[in-house]
Amino acid sequence: MSMITATRWVPKGYATQFPTRYVFDEDEYGRIAKLAKLRLDDAQEELAEAEADAQAASSQSGKAKSKKKSSSAEGNAMQTQEDIDDDLKEYDLEHYDDDAEPEADAGATMGMFANVKSLTYHDSNAEDPYITIQENEEEDEEREELQILPTDSLVLAARLEDEVAHLEVYVYESGADNLYVHHDIMLPAIPLCVEWLNFAVGKPASGSNGEGNGNFVAIGTMDPDIEVWDLDIVDCMYPNAILGQGAEEADSVDKPKKKKKKKRSRKPNDAYHVDAVLSLAANRAHRNLLASSSADATIKLWDLNTAKCAKSYTYHSDKVCAVEWNPREATVLLSGSYDRTVVAADMRAPDAKPPTWGVESDVETVRWNPHDPNYFYATTEGGIVYYHDARMAPTDPSKTKPVWTLQAHDEAVSSFDVNPNIPGFLATGSTGKEVKLWNVQASGPSMVVSRDLDVGKVFSTSFATDQDICFTLAVGGSKGKVQLWDTSTNLAVRRIFADRIPSGTEEVSERLVGLVEYSSDSESGEDPGSDDEGGAEIEGEDEDEDEVMKE
The string of pLDDT tens digits covering residues 513-542 is 555 444 444 443 444 443 333 332 333 344
Specify the pLDDT at position 242: 94
Helices (H), 36-180: 40-76, 81-91, 137-146
Specify the pLDDT at position 238: 87
How distant is the alpha carbon of residue 49 from its chain centre? 40
Within the chain, which residues score under 70 in pLDDT? Answer: 24-46, 61-139, 202-212, 248-265, 504-551
Quick one: which of 205, 209, 276, 90 has its CA closest to 217?
205
Specify the pLDDT at position 364: 98
| pLDDT tens string 424-438 | 999 999 999 999 999
List, in order, residues 6 or more apart from 300 with CB less than 8 Å away.
243, 272, 273, 291, 292, 293, 294, 309, 311, 312, 313
Specify the pLDDT at position 543: 44
Q: Which residues of 419-448 are buried (b: 16+ CB within 10 A; e: fewer)?
A: bbbbbbbbbbbbbebbbbbbbbeeebbbbb
Per cent of the chain over pLDDT 90 is 57
State how far the alpha carbon of 371 is from the alpha carbons of 368, 375, 423, in Å.
9, 9, 6
Q: What is the mean pLDDT of the chain?
A: 80
State how far the alpha carbon of 34 is from the alpha carbons of 88, 254, 514, 534, in Å.
69, 11, 59, 59
Q: What angle do CA 308, 11, 198 make, to 5 degrees?
A: 20
How distant is the alpha carbon of residue 329 from its chain centre? 28
Give 291's strand partners. 281, 301
Q: Are 45 and 52 in contact (CB under 8 A)?
A: no
Distance CA 185, CA 218 (A): 12
Q: What's the sign of the alpha-carbon dihedral 100, 104, 110, 111?
A: positive
3-state secondary structure 441-488: ECCEEEEEEEECCCCCCEEEEEECCCHHHCCEEEEEECCCCEEEEEHH
State how far the alpha carbon of 227 is from the alpha carbons of 194, 349, 446, 462, in Å.
10, 28, 39, 22
In a 10 Å sphere around its CB, with 0-12 CB exposed, 13-18 middle and 19+ buried, how is residue 6 labelled? buried
Distance CA 91, CA 262 (A): 76
Q: Are 445 and 537 in contact (CB under 8 A)?
A: no
Q: How many CA atoms lie within 13 A of 348 on its CB side?
A: 5
Specify the pLDDT at position 253: 47
Residue 114 has a CB neighbour count (10 Å cut-off) of 16
Specify the pLDDT at position 213: 78
Distance CA 341, CA 196 (A): 26
Specify the pLDDT at position 547: 39
Q: Are 160 and 191 in contact (CB under 8 A)?
A: yes
List, in order, residues 6 or more apart from 328 with CB less than 8 Å away.
373
Quick one: which of 408, 547, 428 has its CA closest to 484?
547
Question: What are the CB-based long-range contacts (under 8 Å, 24+) for 203-211?
Answer: 203/31, 203/240, 205/230, 205/232, 206/16, 206/19, 206/20, 206/230, 206/232, 206/233, 207/14, 207/15, 207/16, 207/17, 207/19, 207/231, 207/232, 209/13, 209/14
Q: Residue 388, SS3?
A: strand
